[in-house]
Chains A and B, each alone.
Chain A
Amino acid sequence: MVNGWQPDFEQLVDEHQSMVFSLALRMTGDRGLAEEIAQDVFLALDKDLSRMESPAHACFWLRRVAISRSTDAMRRRRVRAIDQWVELDEIHGAQAEERDSPLAVRVERLLATLPEAMRAALVLRYQEDLSPEEIAASLGAPLATVKSNLQRGLKLLRAKAAVHLKEYVRGV
């Protein structure tokens, strides 16, 4: 611990549970799985708590581990995100639609259809408001790769939105 900062586990959970859960949710598209991942991430933090040097370090660590655990979980499941969303609609869809804006739900659905690397870059960019440099550091990826994933992901998402959200706009 540097600068005399003493990490308080419960406080870190309070501060970052929304971030970790949202990252996992947007990466996996599965609420139940996202909750499990969030729990695992915080339990991993508990093990490494003594190595946290500052609040910023803890936040960076949580982001990085949340993304990598989500990616691992997705690979383990080997289920296409779009299929999960169909399933999710039946289980959580109604609840989610009640709480969240329909546009947000639609955007998340479209996001879930993107390849993992693009999705991770976009989630960190637009949910966490990180710069490409910060995203590269969080993902442990080269900056050029991150920039390319951001551009290609955004282009793909824009194209999908042009088709799917037009429908939504017409429906409103």
Chain B
Amino acid sequence: MDDFELELSEAMQRRPAPPSLKRRILERRRQQRAQRQSRMVWFERIAASLLLGAVAGGAVMGHYANERRKGEEAKQQVFTALRITGHALDQVNTQLEEHDRNKQ
């Protein structure tokens, strides 16, 4: 280091921080933490609401799906019954036709 650099080092000693700096930092830190906490509470509320909504929506969807499934089953049963009835009627009709043919 030459003389100029030594003078520079001397002139560039750290300046003392303003006396109120630490107090202001701690105050802002406290405020930020309070804000963060309040934000967390809101996030938790929103998350809980979304979860409740999803559960309720799921329950409603489940209910409708169940109803639809039951409806499908009933429809299939009606179709099966109709098929059986149609088959029985066909048999009766065949017998009647046979009976008519024998009479002639």
Cβ of A18 within 8 Å of any chain B Cβ, yes or no, is: yes
Contact residues of A: prevailing secondary structure: helix
Q: How many angstroms between the C-alpha atoms of A104 and B18 in the bound complex? A: 18
Would A21 and B21 count as touching, CB distance under 8 A?
Answer: yes
Would A103 and B11 count as touching, CB distance under 8 A?
Answer: yes
Cβ of B101 within 8 Å of any chain A Cβ, yes or no, is: no
How many B residues face the partner with a CB closer than 8 A? 22
Would A126 and B9 count as touching, CB distance under 8 A?
Answer: yes
- Evaluate whether A123 and B12 lie within 8 angstroms (CB atoms) in the complex, with A18-B17, A21-B17 already known: yes
Residues of B within 8 A of A100 (CB): 15
Cβ of A129 within 8 Å of any chain B Cβ, yes or no, is: yes
CB contact list, A26-44 vs B, under 8 A = 26, 35, 38-39, 42-43
Q: Which residue on B lies nearest to A10, using beta carbons?
A: B26
Q: How many angstroms between the C-alpha atoms of A31 and B79 in the bound complex? A: 88
Cβ of B104 within 8 Å of any chain A Cβ, yes or no, is: no
Would B8 and A17 count as touching, CB distance under 8 A?
Answer: no
Q: How many angstroms between the C-alpha atoms of A101 and B13 in the bound complex? A: 11
- Further contacts, 4 of them, CB under 8 A, given A18-B17, A19-B14, A38-B21: A22-B14, A126-B5, A126-B9, A127-B12
List 14 A–B pairs whose Cβ atoms lie within 8 Å, in order of A's numbering.
A17-B22, A18-B16, A22-B15, A35-B18, A38-B25, A39-B28, A43-B29, A46-B29, A106-B11, A107-B7, A107-B8, A127-B13, A127-B14, A154-B4
